[in-house]
Structure formats: structure tokens, C-alpha cells
Structure 1
């Protein structure tokens, strides 16, 4: 799933969370030759502001090249530079993650009276580990279940851990797997954690974050999942 403009004559997401906003934009002829769309998207102004482009609400070759760079980085297809729903949803999620700072549980949605707990906020696509009121790790960006295969909400517990897990269902490696609900697990992926439309229900993590979770959590530790992923 991705942003899908109609293209004339062609078939045509914390500082570490942000793609550099000073993307190289290239020349207008180069942009045209690259298959960039000339269409203005419904989120043109928001995307321009995020990318550090002049905010005029009109698509330009430079806007398109900068947006395509973001789309390719995060696996948004087609990467045609169109300021559509999926692109802006990804950008707005990254902004919400950055705004969380070091107080991801400011609203108190994740219970902190259980000792060590891994919190998963589906709305912000964010996870962190707390020990009581103390933040132990994170917050970090995650990729949860797509529409129709949502990561289930509620109170869970880690019940099985497998450091070099092989999925017989998806036939892929799932390093640092920690299962907490009927086959749903924390585990690492090498693709962007903002890659749409989402996982098969697992909580995908960057390799370093999945390894840190592996070192901090144990069987029996609490997991709490809440919110709703945008687009599900």
C-alpha cells in the first residue's frame, strides 16, 4: 500500500528518528527524467514543511525529489514524490515520536505499578521499557500489525524467547524474538520500521533496539499494548 498519484504519460519516520531534511533536490530536467509526479498532493504543505522545503502548497521538481528520497528510505511505494496519505502519515508518526522525548508515558496510559514492563503505543508506533515509574529504555520506533493483522491490545506477558528464531509461517528470520501473545513477538527487522503497511502482528524493531529488549526482558515480564495504529 502506498501513495498513488495519476502520472501523465507514465505508470508511474528523538533525532535519530528523522531522515535528514536537507535532501539533495537536483535540477528540474533531472527530476522530470526520474519519473517524478507533477501533481500536488493533499498533504503538500505538511510534507513541504517536514522536508524543510518552501511551503507554498504547490508541487515543484525540487519538492518531488526530496519527497521521493524520503519515500525510498522508508519503503513507501510508488516512490513518485506525491504528497499523499501514506507519506504524511509516516511523517506525522515520526513527529509524534520525536515529541514524546524522554517522557513517552506522560499520559499514564501504560501501567507503571507492575515493576518491569514493556509498553507499546500503537497510535504513535512507539515502545519503551519501564521499571515502575523509571524509564529504562526508549522510547523507540516500532512497526506493528497491518490492517487485518493488528497487534492485539491489552495486558500480556513474555512467554517464549528465541534469539535466532525462524518463522515457519513467513519463512524469514526473526532475530531476538520475544513472544508475548499467541505468536506475536518483539523482534528485529532490517527494513525501515516505518515501512508500510505493517507487520503480520509482531512488533518489529531496529536490530539494536531488539537486542536491548532481549537483554532487559525475561520470561514472565509484563507487556502492555494500547492505542490504534493509523490506517487500521
Structure 2
């Protein structure tokens, strides 16, 4: 693909994303918020929201994942696309900033459109749950074919890291209650001592990480529940960034 073709493709995706948040309104020259962050105003369907024009630490990566021109610099057009993606995944604040949370959501968006990028999971079992800690993704493959996902996940925070390795599910409890943390863990599927795949009632992109388990959105965990059995493989790899 030529550079011109890539730019056209990026602009087409940008137009589709920007349409979701309404027309872009720049009120004069970019100003600054009370915190000194550059901003513009974007008029969306639910009123006017503020858009950060400062370049985020994951700017170039997010531009790549959203198929935007990759210059590593925030623009009003970039912000419209990032805000749209943030809104689609329930990220708050949806301010268009390319931070770590937005990077994770954009990586998910990219992976769903590019299943060939789902690599690094070499399990011994015919059916294996793949936990990519770097991208905070989970998918299931059977004999190398992806049969579920990718979906977003949340693995262990510092001090409670989810351990990398190859495991097998050894216990399943649909309505598990954690006495250690005094909290529900619906659709728990244990694979490494006390670590399990299970549903979380927290927003999935929210920091900090888990206490070692692999958290999933409730609907994703419920969908995954009937697909797995005791003895199915789980492969955990990569390294999670963030708190």
C-alpha cells in the first residue's frame, strides 16, 4: 500500500469516527483550560465538551490503531477521532487525549479489525484461552482458529501481578464470592492457584489493575462461561503497563 493510499484510508476512517461526535467547532484559536491544558470545543449530540489538544504519550500508537495520519502530534481532527473511540468504549473523561487507557481501547479496536495480529499464544491444549497482558486482551482459539474475542481485560497491578505461564482450568464457580476481598467474582474459572478469569463490575479500562485475576466485562465473562471446561488451557504472556 502506498503512503497516499494509507493517508486516504486514514482520512476515511477519521471521517466515520468524527461523524459519531458531531461537527467540529473550534472557538477561535486554541485556548487553555484552568490546568493549562490546550483545548478546543467539540459540539456533540449531548452538548459541548472540551477536547485536549496536548499530545499524549501514546499519540503515535493511537494514530496507527485508528488509521489516522501518523505524525505523533495531536490535532483537532485526531482529538475528534479519539473522543469518538473513547465514547464508544465508555471511557471517561472522553477528552480526546492519547493516554494509556485510550491506547488500550485503540489496541482493542485495531485487534478486532486485524485478527492476524493476535499472536504470541502457543498453548498445548486444543482449546486455549489467550491472555495478552501487554495489550490487555483475551481471546480463545481452538486448534489455532480464533473462536472468541478479542475482548478487553484487566490483569494484575504492581504487587499483585498475574503470573505468566501455561495453565489449565482446574475449577469453575458460576457465582463465586471472594472471602478475601469480600466481593463477587461471577463466572470464575480458576487456572493458577487463586487466580481466575471472571466478570468485573468495574469499568474494564479503569485503573488500577486487579489483584492477580483476569477481569472481564460482565457480558464477555458470561459469554465465555459455557465455552470452557475444566482442563482447558490458559496461556498468559506479556507485561501490563500502568497501576
Q: TM-score, normalised by structure 2?
A: 0.65
Alpha-carbon separation, structure 2, partners of 1:134 and 1:65: 35
> Does 1:90 find its partner at 2:101?
no
What secondary structure does 2:167 align onto? strand
Change (3 A) 1:39 1:148: farther
Q: Aligned residue for 2:115?
A: 101
Unaligned runs of 5+ in 2: 1-15, 28-39
Distance 2:167 2:61 in 1: 37
Gapped runs of 5+ residues in structure 1?
Answer: 1-19
Matched, 1:24 2:38: no
Q: Which residue of 2 aligns with 1:186?
A: 197
2:218: which partner in 1? Answer: 207
Q: Which residue of 2 aligns with 1:159?
A: 170
Change (3 A) 1:36 1:218: same
Tell me how large the CA RMSD over aligned residues is. Answer: 3.7
Q: Judging by fraction of residues, say which structure has more strand.
A: 2
Offset at 1:226?
A: 0.9
The match for 2:150 among 139, 147, 165 is 139
Whether the 8 Å contact between 1:118 and 1:129 is mirrored in structure 2 is yes
Change (3 A) 1:75 1:218: same
Say which structure, 1 or 2, has more relative contact order (CA 8 Å, 6+ apart).
1
Please show how residues 1-232 of structure 1 align to structure 2 within 5 Å: 21=17, 22-25=19-22, 27=25, 31=41, 36=50, 39-42=53-56, 57=73, 60=76, 67=82, 70-71=85-86, 74=89, 79=93, 81=95, 83-101=97-115, 104-105=118-119, 107=120, 109-111=121-123, 113-231=124-242
Give SS of 1:224's match. strand
Q: How many residues align?
A: 208
Contact 2:196 2:213 (8 Å CA) reproduced: yes
Q: Shift in Å at residue 134 of structure 1?
A: 4.0
Is this contact kept in 1: 2:133–2:238, CA < 8 A? yes
